[in-house]
């Protein structure tokens, strides 16, 4: 396992922790691949009864993809790689038979919010802030986040968060149903998540797994919708607005998008 991802398993509880605090736990290529490998390891370990997803430190849960590294790979192939690795990892994680808990220790932006949507139970530190920031860099969600968010909080609220890319705090996340529990200030989010996971391990595992499967199967699973999101993400990856967002990030300036205000969009086939 890469040092960017710490995977631990003890007392029937597994933890996958993104370990890049110097980059606000943004996922570079190595971290993405290690995250996916850790999820596969969990799927192959029958003794695991609960899984916790979290980040290192108190500043950030996951700040999405690492723009500094991704800006060096603006071609479509890089977008396909990013989409494939993490969308498959989150799809696999969502289908795990055991409960998956997001221990949101800090801010979650972009892909970090998408990871949260793929978790079954979600608790957040009181200081955590959230933003589905993809449109700010000229993209859509790419890891299954749109469909999951709509199912979590409803179409109208999802429209607000996805179209505006606004930042919302932990209290609002709780009111929206995006997180289930808030951890009081100065309390340890990781300890709280482990306590929750321990409670779950005391319940009959087969019943938990069957109940989770019933819930996941309670809405129609549409492959067409997943493919639509993938195509939208990849179509935008090499477009000028996304490239401008990456350039602006590297140059530490505000982006000047081509498709804002009265200018015509450039998303031709």
- Note the pLDDT tens digit of each residue in 35-61: 999 999 999 999 999 999 999 999 999
Where b means 16+ CB within 10 Å and e means fewer, 117-144 reads bbbbbbbbbeebbbbbbbbbbbbbbbbb
Confidence of residue 166 (pLDDT cuts 50, 70, 90): very high
Confidence of residue 266 (pLDDT cuts 50, 70, 90): very low
Cα-Cα-Cα-Cα dihedral of 155, 159, 160, 164, to 10°?
A: 160
Strand 121-125 relative to strand 100-104: parallel, antiparallel, unpaired? Answer: parallel
- Position with higher pLDDT, 82 vs 111: 111
Task: Give me the percent of the chain exceeding a pLDDT of 90.
Answer: 70
Confidence of residue 141 (pLDDT cuts 50, 70, 90): very high
Q: Would you say residue 222 has pLDDT above 90?
A: no
Lowest-confidence pick of 15-29, 149-163, 242-256: 242-256
The rounded distance, in Å, linking the Cα atoms of 117 and 112 is 9
The rounded distance, in Å, linking the Cα atoms of 161 and 159 is 6
Q: Domains in the chain, please, with CATH?
A: 5-185 (3.90.226.10)
**Is-contact 5 38, C-beta < 8 A?**
yes
Give Cα 258 to chain centroid, integer Å. Answer: 28
Token pair, residue 188, equals: 């340890």
Strand, coil or helix: 228 = helix
Mean pLDDT of the chain: 90
User: pTM score, two decimals?
Assistant: 0.88
Which helix (H) or strand (E) segment holds residue 100: the answer is: strand 100-104
The rounded distance, in Å, linking the Cα atoms of 101 and 122 is 6
pLDDT of residue 214: 85
pLDDT of residue 128: 98
Confidence of residue 144 (pLDDT cuts 50, 70, 90): very high
Mean pLDDT of 169-182: 98
- Position with higher pLDDT, 191 vs 249: 191
Strand, coil or helix: 25 = coil
Strand, coil or helix: 238 = coil
Q: Would you say residue 223 has pLDDT above 70?
A: no
The dihedrals phi and psi of 60, each to the nearest 5 degrees, come to -140, 145
């Amino acid at each position: 396992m890469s040092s960017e991802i710490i995977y631990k398993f003890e007392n029937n509880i597994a933890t996958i922790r993104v370990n890049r605090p110097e980059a606000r736990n943004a996922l570079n290529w190595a971290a993405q691949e290690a995250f996916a490998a850790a999820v596969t390891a969990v799927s192959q370990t029958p003794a695991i009864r609960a899984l916790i997803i979290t980040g290192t430190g108190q500043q950030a849960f996951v700040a999405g993809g690492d723009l500094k590294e991704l800006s060096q790979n603006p071609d479509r192939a890089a977008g396909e790689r990013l989409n494939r690795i993490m969308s498959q990892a989150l799809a696999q994680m969502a289908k795990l038979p055991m409960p998956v808990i997001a221990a949101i220790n800090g801010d979650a932006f972009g892909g970090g919010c998408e990871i949260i949507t793929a978790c079954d139970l979600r608790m957040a530190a009181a200081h955590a802030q959230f933003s589905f920031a993809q449109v700010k860099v000229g993209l859509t969600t790419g890891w299954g986040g749109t469909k999951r968010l709509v199912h979590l909080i409803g179409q109208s609220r999802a429209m607000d968060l996805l179209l505006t890319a606004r930042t919302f705090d932990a209290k609002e996340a709780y009111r929206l149903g995006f997180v289930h529990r808030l951890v009081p200030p100065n309390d340890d989010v990781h300890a709280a998540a482990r306590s929750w996971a321990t409670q779950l391990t005391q319940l009959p595992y087969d019943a938990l797994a069957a109940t989770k499967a019933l819930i996941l199967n309670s809405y129609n699973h549409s492959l067409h919708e997943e493919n639509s999101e993938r195509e939208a993400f990849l179509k935008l990856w090499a477009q000028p607005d996304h490239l401008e967002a990456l350039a602006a990030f590297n140059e530490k300036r505000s982006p000047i998008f081509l498709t804002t205000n009265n200018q015509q969009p450039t998303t031709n086939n």
